[in-house]
Structure 1
Amino acid sequence: MVIGGGGREHAIIKKIKENPKAETIYALPGNGGMEDDCICTGVGAEDLPAIVEFAKTHAIDFAVVAPDDPLVMGCVDLLEAEGIPCFGPNKEAAIIEGSKAFSKELMKAYGIPTAAYETFTEMEEALDYVQECKIPVVIKADGLAKGKGVTIAQTREEAVKAVNSMMEDKIFGDSGSCVVIEEYLEGPEVSVLAFTDGNTLVPMVSSMDHKRAYDGDQGPNTGGMGTVAPNPYYTEAVAEQCAEEIFLPTMIAMNKEGRTFKGCLYFGLMITADGPKVIEYNCRFGDPETQVVLPLLTSDLLDIMLHVSEGTLAEAEVTFSDQAACCVVLASKGYPGSYEKGCPLEIPEDLAHVFIAGARKGEQGQLLSNGGRCIGVTECADTLAEAIDKAYTSVKRIGFENGFYRNDIGQRALKALEA
């Protein structure tokens, strides 16, 4: 069973489905657009007692816990206590994403390069700090906030507003009771997902996310409007430096803290003038990064996940295509603000890598929009330029009257290749 119901989970399920050992795949909850690839159950991804009960009554052999919330809540711990092997970190290890204060302290203690920072649990102290610190400054809610708990404040007024909204107005609930305020780093961003069982760490293909809603990196932050892979800023030299200074030291640090991490560890990196630095860790596959990385995986995903679970990742074959991939996300007009639901989605059957996120089945069985980000369309090709062209050709074939997408996914990467 795969916990979750978005485009990331659909990409994982499609890849697992390639293994003949995966006879039946359940999604908890899944969505209306995944039903050709798995059995959607409607069981909520954060309803841990129901997840455990479902696993027991359906004799589940293996579980993939994909989203951050159930991981941080301890879903893996509960399933493993019932004898069900899992892909994903336990609660002790998932804190690397669950608490930004913890992850910053970890990096500081083990010399892993990151932005300078201060942590605050008292609002008045945080407000005093932003009156004196260098601007721009980055303000982060300590806990999970659906990917929206970060503000890059360009002015002191914005910084004050961010602190107030997190700590006083509680816009992220208890996640904002503690805030991390850190220096603003400059440089290209790179996302790297890595398989690790605590003994071995294998980075996947790098990728570049596009967070802003509109062309030219304008508009509000979103969960991600598209991705490309590989990321041209992630050169072989940068990859070697990251492995030596960030990836392996992080795995070792977690072991030393008694929090051995088994699963997918996500590194959000900034390639600064002083070298690569960690912006954030995630304790799971990123979304939409997964939608470009997994189509390039040429070895068997379920086999790798089983090896991670068993602590034998060193024995697994992990190989990726030399091709490039581009994913374009179709979102509901108005996203990430308010938007309509229930608009028809028409997807040609011959498109290979279509990952459904916010969708449900209507009374007549038609596919309808049911979220902010509805569809991710990925295409692979020998060059990034070709992959981008193919992705946009495919996107234009999808019927979604009330949808929109960015027209410039991958353009920044193309310019980097030309430089």
Structure 2
Amino acid sequence: MRVLVVGSGAREHAIVLALAQDPEVTAIACAPGNAGTAAVSEQLGVAANDPVAVAALARRWSADLVVIGAEGPLVVGVADAVRAEGITCFGPSSSAARIEGSKTFAKDVMAAAGVRTAASETVDNPARLDAALGRFEPPYVVKDDGLAAGKGVVVTTDYDVARAHACTLLDGGHPVLLESYLDGPEVSLFCLVDGETVVPLLPAQDFKRVGDGESGPNTGGMGAYAPLPWADPDLAETLVRDVVAPVAAELVRRDVPFSGLLYAGLALTSSGPAVIEFNCRFGDPETQVVLPLLRSPLAAALCATATGKLADLPSLQWSDGAAVTVVVAAEGYPGTPRLGDVITGSEAEGVLHAGTRRRDDGAVVTAGGRVVSVVGTGADLDEARTEAYRRLDAVHIAGSHHRTDIALRAVNGEIAAPTPS
């Protein structure tokens, strides 16, 4: 099987590495890829958000399976264009990808499916903003209604900060979603979805804030770990039953069936699980910890999903132990990152590339905000965390920063899922 992975981040690097372990995969290409994926796959230039260009590339390369990594290409219809060429594609249609592309659409789907989520209100007119904000209590949650790479969200107890963020979004032509705050530990659950068939992967937890102790602004994600030692062993099955399966069924009812990876971001509140957001693809950085623990062949799972045969897929098998990833970010991130800094240690074991490129002189340099994800695995979460930070010590980038507390509270037993009232 020839597999083309579309994207350029650490998520795609993790997918390529998992595919490389699959004996059924005979060739792998990554487009446009990065300096890390170049070591394990053929690199092909393409504008990932151009449906016509990606479909043409898949045809020229004779791809048997195309895997779309990021949300942007899915929302603009890259998967539709690939399938129109008669090529199997893992990723939802542009209509189904609205579950991430429009938070208002997602809220409407959840309401129809009877799935718990935060109370919300969409504002598309600055004149309505103050009255709408007045209907919420702190902490205020202000989101860009569209795609924002995880950085369009502000959670704050300061009314003026919340209002300023909303005004910035509205001034840029972006509708604003105001939400009530959901307390409780957060969980990321990836599910393979084929219409109404849902197969969960391991639950994970990611870290959105840039600084230790959940300080600073939101980012695309600064680290993650899996599995969750503090969670109920039946958590994934419960979330499929109560959250993911009803949403998948509602999308089928609306004649926009989902095919691909449906990612539910949830808060485990005292009133039960509640959805923070849905994404239409593998999440980054959670992919970097979930896939290293998967023992089943990845290509078979993706193909079964993409060809409508997920119900026939054998049960997924997982390794014992745990995985932790820590993101190393460029100076300036999550604002404007500094580019072009030389990276040393980027070829070490466990280092997955994201914002990197190789210069003509062979040096690997920064080319984005989140530069690399450093992954450690171990017999338990403590061992995996220790290994991740040990490996991180070998990576050096001038001015870079990373969190030092990824998975620490879980290792120390400081997280507990609340008992629903």
Q: Which range, TM-score by smaller chain?
A: over 0.9
Matched, 1:207 2:204: yes
Cα distance in 2 for residues equivalent to 1:245 and 1:402: 44
Q: Per the alignment, in what secondary structure is the counterpart of residue 190 of structure 1?
A: strand
Q: Percent identity?
A: 40
Q: Which moved more, 1:317-326 or 1:151-160?
A: 151-160
Report the counterpart of residue 161 of structure 2 in structure 1. Answer: 158
Report the counterpart of residue 298 of structure 1 in structure 2. Answer: 295
Cα distance in 1 for residues equivalent to 2:95 and 2:312: 26
Matched, 1:59 2:57: no
Report the counterpart of residue 227 of structure 2 in structure 1. Answer: 230
Cα distance in 2 for residues equivalent to 1:370 and 1:418: 35
How do 1:7-406 residues align onto structure 2 when only pairs under 5 Å count? 7-168=10-171, 170=172, 174=173, 176=174, 178-317=175-314, 318-347=316-345, 351=349, 353-406=350-403
Indicate conservation of the 8 Å contact 1:298/1:319, yes or no.
Answer: yes
Indicate conservation of the 8 Å contact 1:107/1:114, yes or no.
Answer: yes
Cα distance in 2 for residues equivalent to 1:220 and 1:48: 33
Runs of 4+ in 1 over 4 A off after TM superposition: none
Q: Per the alignment, in what secondary structure is the counterpart of residue 108 of structure 2?
A: helix
Cα distance in 1 for residues equivalent to 2:203 and 2:234: 13
Indicate conservation of the 8 Å contact 1:190/1:234, yes or no.
Answer: no
Cα distance in 1 for residues equivalent to 2:141 and 2:225: 25
TM-score (norm 2): 0.94
Q: Per the alignment, in what secondary structure is the counterpart of residue 294 of structure 1?
A: helix
Shift of 1:368: 1.4
Indicate conservation of the 8 Å contact 2:150/2:221, yes or no.
Answer: no
Cα distance in 1 for residues equivalent to 2:137 and 2:414: 33
Q: 1:153 to 1:400 in 2, by over 3 A?
A: closer
Cα distance in 1 for residues equivalent to 2:109 and 2:69: 23
Indicate conservation of the 8 Å contact 2:348/2:394, yes or no.
Answer: no
Indicate conservation of the 8 Å contact 2:202/2:236, yes or no.
Answer: no
Shift of 1:291: 0.2
Cα distance in 2 for residues equivalent to 1:132 and 1:399: 47
Cα distance in 2 for residues equivalent to 1:323 and 1:283: 27
Cα distance in 1 for residues equivalent to 2:313 and 2:271: 34
Question: RMSD across aligned C-alpha pairs, in angstroms?
Answer: 1.7
Write the letter of the residue equivalent to 1:360: R
Q: Deviations over 1:44-84 (max 9, x none)?
A: 21122221221222222210011101100011111111111
Aligned residues: 412
Indicate conservation of the 8 Å contact 1:190/1:233, yes or no.
Answer: no
Cα distance in 2 for residues equivalent to 1:264 and 1:140: 23
Indicate conservation of the 8 Å contact 1:232/1:417, yes or no.
Answer: no
Cα distance in 2 for residues equivalent to 1:322 and 1:403: 33
Write the letter of the residue equivalent to 2:272: G
Cα distance in 1 for residues equivalent to 2:282 and 2:310: 17
Indicate conservation of the 8 Å contact 2:325/2:375, yes or no.
Answer: yes
Shift of 1:417: 6.2
Write the letter of the residue equivalent to 2:46: V
Cα distance in 2 for residues equivalent to 1:389 and 1:50: 43
Indicate conservation of the 8 Å contact 1:384/1:414, yes or no.
Answer: yes
Indicate conservation of the 8 Å contact 1:73/1:91, yes or no.
Answer: yes
Q: Deviations over 1:69-107 (max 9, x none)?
A: 110001111111111110010111101001100000111
Indicate conservation of the 8 Å contact 1:267/1:281, yes or no.
Answer: yes
Q: Deviations over 1:192-217 (max 9, x none)?
A: 11111113211111111111112222
Runs of 5+ unmatched residues, structure 2: 417-421
Cα distance in 2 for residues equivalent to 1:350 and 1:298: 23
Q: Per the alignment, in what secondary structure is the counterpart of residue 216 of structure 1?
A: coil
TM-score (norm 1): 0.94
Write the letter of the residue equivalent to 2:160: E
Cα distance in 1 for residues equivalent to 2:121 and 2:396: 48
Q: Per the alignment, in what secondary structure is the counterpart of residue 143 of structure 1?
A: coil
Q: Which moved more, 1:71-80 or 1:129-138?
A: 129-138
Cα distance in 2 for residues equivalent to 1:272 and 1:348: 39
Indicate conservation of the 8 Å contact 1:127/1:163, yes or no.
Answer: no
Q: Deviations over 1:14-59 (max 9, x none)?
A: 1111123322222111112221111122212112222122122222
